[in-house]
Structure formats: C-alpha cells, structure tokens
Amino acid sequence: MAVKLSEAFKSQPVYLHDDHINFDSVQEVPDSHAWQQIVDYPSDDQDLYDAESVPIIDLMDPNACNLVGNACQTWGVFQVTNHGIPIHLLEDLESEGRRLFQLPAQQKVKAARPPNGMSGYGQARISCFFPKLMWSEGFTIVGSPIEQARQLWPQGYKTFCDVIEEYEKEMKKLSSRLMWIMLGSLGITENDMSWAGPNSKSEGPCAALQLNSYPPCPDPKIAMGLAAHTDTTLLTILYQTSTSGLQVLRDGGRWVTVPPKSGALVINVGDLLQILSNGRFPSVFHRAVVHQTHQRLSFVYFFGPPSNIQISPLSKLIDQKHPPLYRSVTWNEYLRIKYKHFNEALSVVRLCEPQHESIDMND
Ligand SMILES: O=C(O)CCC(=O)C(=O)O
Ligand SMILES: [Fe+2]
C-alpha cells in the first residue's frame, strides 16, 4: 500500500519549513505562527456551557449499533468505551509518544519525512494550505516504524517498534469492527461490499498511524494546533491524552470540544465513508487547539480501503428518491484531489449540486 498511496503525496510535497521552530525554547508566538484570534477557544469550564456533547457509546451496549448509526448521522463523531483495547497498551503508547517528542530537535529531524514521502517526523501535511504554520509536530507511520525509529534511537528503538506494531494490530481489528457496526446500522452487510468481505481477494485495508504533539503555547488563543479539516479516510480512531484540544464543528458553525475521557477512543467519520454512505454519514470537520501550560498528545489511526478499490455510494442506499451523490473514486485518486482542493474535495467528486457543503474554514 505504501508504494501506491505515496504516489498521491508526490503531487503535493511538504517541506520541513525554514520557520520550523524549536517549541522548547520559544517565549512568544512568532509571526509565522500567529493566527487571527481563535473563535470558540474552550474556556476552563466549557462543559457547563456546551448545551450538547459528542455521544459516548459503550460498545458492549446491546443497542450500540443504533447508537453508533445515530451518532454518525447527527455528529460524524463519537467516543467509544469498552472497545477492547487494553489500557496498558494505551499507556505504553502514550509514554513512547512522550519519549519521541521529548528528543532534541536535531535528533527528531534525523527521521524527517521526505517532502513527498509518507513516513517520518514533520509538520502537519495540511500546512501547505494555510498562510500560517501550526503549533504542532507530528510523526507519521505507515506499516513498520523500524526505519525511522532507528534514526531516532540507534540503540533503543525496539520498545517503540513493539508498542507501535501491537497498537497497529489492535487498531486494524477495531477499525474493521467499527466499520461494520457503522454500515450495519444502515442495513449493509459483508455481501454488499465485496472488497471488505471475508472472501475478498483484494490487498486488504490500508492505514497510517499519526502521532501528534501540541507543545504548551505562550498565547494559545492566536495559535492553531491543527487547522480545520475532515479526514481522508473511511474512519479515524483517535486516542488523546488528558489535556483537551480536539474540537468538532456543529451545524451552526460552533466549535464543540471533545473532552478527553480516560480510556475512551474518539471515532471520526471520514470523507470516504461519506461517499460510501451516499451522504448519510457526513465526515466531521475538526481541529486541534493548544494549551498554555500543558503539552497535548494525540494518536490517530487513519483507516481506509485498499488503495485501488473503487469507492462509490453503496447500491443498497440508492433509489429514485436518493440518487448517487458522488462519483466513484479510489482512495489513491481521492487523496490527489484532496491535496489539490483540500476542504472542497468532496464537492469535486459530487454529482449533484452540493447544498450546504462549502464552509469557510479559515476563521
Ligand atoms: O490531535 C487531534 O485531536 C486531532 C488530530 C487530527 O485531526 C489528525 O491528525 O488528523
Ligand atoms: Fe483529523
């Protein structure tokens, strides 16, 4: 998969910027990183003000499938508990993430992601769409992390690799389970999607793991951890540490914080699931804001189909009243479109006029 998907990234190289700052020593937000005042920056007692909150679903609940379906239709995001991922694995992942981002800057750049490559240390891929840089650093892993980990820790790379590989294995199982729960709520079964069914001869799902660090920021209301976007996936599984920062956009244009819940995982609907579900499950706009005194980490598993499989609205969801809204695309092709049109990508593959899809995300 790495070979195929990487073609899409060659069309939009991202360079480790000259303005890449050393977050450890910075005293004030430099102009390169100063955004306009962030709207809906969370207040300390945010929960008191949020009239609505992202659904939290216990996957052992007998009604989980309906709850998931409802959350996908109304939010495009939800948190899950009782998901089967051992707590010790989440703790190990968190401590390996801290170990990585604590390394001196000159060590981290030894594992820099090549401008047109997929794996390694660097800035957010979406940086190229914005005039200002983001207050974050990331590390992307596709498949085995060994090559980059060796650059970071010529001796002590094994623990990191073991934890990452175990996490990737667990995430793969959970993603596919969640995908079937989500689609199951629409009446879709394994027979309706041959590439994903048990008898499939295709290469299997593709995925990437992204480790994000949002260092403390002297003036968080003018810095952006990760700007608003939707994920280019079927679904995304995000584990966040105890400092809040993830926000999702609601219909009225309001940003709602997804509060960290110990041991829970956040699930986002991605663009490809919006296409498959013929718009029934909208992908969620989200962003990450930063904190004045706390570093925040997030671990993000991007789950998608085999890179060369055609993804189009499922025929069971199409009838006279519900014509297909999107044309068919492979993940590979859609990535190219995304890296050209960014937040307009879904409109580019849309067959009928979009009704409410164009939102200005730059504020
Ligand atoms: O750190 C977060 O909460 C958001 C990360 C994210 O959206 C991403 O990596 O695509
Ligand atoms: Fe995201």
How buried is 190 (Cβ within 10 angstroms: 0-12 exposed, 13-18 middle, 19+ buried)?
middle
Distances in Å between the alpha carbon of 361 and those of 41, 54, 230, 277? 15, 20, 11, 24
Rounded to the nearest 10°, the torsion over CA 12, 16, 19, 23 is 130
309 Cβ closer than 6 Å to some ligand 1 atom: no
Phi then psi for residue 174, to 5 deg, are -65, -40
Phi then psi for residue 239, to 5 deg, are -110, 125
CATH fold of 42-348? Jelly Rolls (2.60.120)
Amino acid identity of 60?
M
User: Which atom, in ligand 1's list, is nearest to the CA of 240?
Assistant: 3
Distances in Å between the alpha carbon of 101 and those of 98, 122, 139, 143, 328? 5, 11, 9, 20, 39
Q: Are 237 and 267 in contact (CB under 8 A)?
A: yes
Element (H, E) at 268: strand 265-269
Please give the pLDDT value at position 42.
87
Find, among 232, 237, 236, the residue nearest to 329 by Cα: 232
- For ligand 1, atom 8, the nearest C-alpha belongs to 300
Written as six digits, the tokens of 39 are: 């709207």
Burial 32-70 (b: 16+ CB within 10 A, else e): ebebeebebebeeebeeeeeeebbbbebeeeebbebbbe
Distance CA 21, CA 212 (A): 16
pLDDT by residue for the chain (363 residues), tens only, comes to 444 555 665 555 665 555 567 888 889 999 999 999 999 998 766 555 566 899 999 999 999 999 999 999 999 999 999 999 999 999 999 999 999 999 999 999 999 999 878 899 999 999 999 999 999 999 999 989 999 999 999 998 999 999 999 999 999 999 999 999 999 999 999 999 988 877 777 777 899 999 999 999 999 999 999 999 999 999 999 999 999 999 999 988 999 999 999 999 999 999 999 999 999 999 999 999 999 999 999 999 999 999 989 999 999 999 999 999 999 999 999 999 999 999 999 999 999 765 554 444 544
Cβ contacts of residue 57 below 8 Å, gap of 6+?
Answer: 64, 67, 68, 71, 78, 79, 80, 81
Chain CA centroid to CA 124, Å? 11
Output the CA 64–ligand 1 centroid distance in Å: 25
Active site members = 296
Please give the pLDDT value at position 362.
44
Please give the pLDDT value at position 360.
46
Phi then psi for residue 296, to 5 deg, are -120, 140
Distance CA 165, CA 154 (A): 18
Say whether 66 sits in a helix, a strand or coil.
helix
Distance CA 278, CA 274 (A): 6
Say whether 266 sits in a helix, a strand or coil.
strand
286 Cβ closer than 6 Å to some ligand 1 atom: yes
213: left (phi over 0), alpha (psi -120 to 50) or beta: beta
What are the extents of the domains in the chain? 42-348
271 Cβ closer than 6 Å to some ligand 1 atom: no
Amino acid identity of 212?
N
241 Cβ closer than 6 Å to some ligand 1 atom: no
Amino acid identity of 99?
R
Output the CA 226–ligand 1 centroid distance in Å: 7
202: left (phi over 0), alpha (psi -120 to 50) or beta: beta
Output the CA 212–ligand 1 centroid distance in Å: 7
